[in-house]
Amino acid sequence: MDQKEINKQILKRLKRLESVVFDNKKSKDKLLENKFKDFKGITGGIRLLISKSFFKGKKRAFDEIKKDLNKNDYYSSRQSIQASLDQLSTSKGPLVKIKEGKKNYYAERK
């Protein structure tokens, strides 16, 4: 291999690495796409709502979330829905929990 070919290979690898490291939107979308492929269980139902942009730009109350889960054929108890929402609203989760008085609201994390 001559120096031109080596430089070409290095530049190709560098572009690929930079696209993964610095292009947050595309890499984040790919991570979310892989993470949300499986919509099993009530947590999967909430992930389905996230993928449909249900939480985007608007905070949602528990009753709204439960109603929309039922529309998408996800039926479960209040406790299991609440547990899944709590699991998805951790510091690294896709949702954020907003407390207003005694009520909790959920929105998509930016």
Mean pLDDT per 10-residue run, the chain (110 residues)? 87 84 61 64 92 91 95 93 94 92 92
pLDDT at position 27 is 53
CA distance 45 to 4: 52
pTM (two decimals): 0.65
pLDDT at position 29 is 57
Number of Cβ within a 10 Å radius of residue 69: 20
Does the CA dihedral 87-92-97-99 come out positive or negative?
Answer: positive
Distances (CA, A) of 17 to 3, 13, 24, 30, 75: 21, 6, 12, 15, 43
Domain range annotation of the chain: 1-35, 39-110
CA distance 47 to 88: 9
pLDDT at position 4 is 86
pLDDT at position 110 is 83
pLDDT at position 32 is 57
Topology, domain 39-110: Arc Repressor Mutant, subunit A (1.10.10)
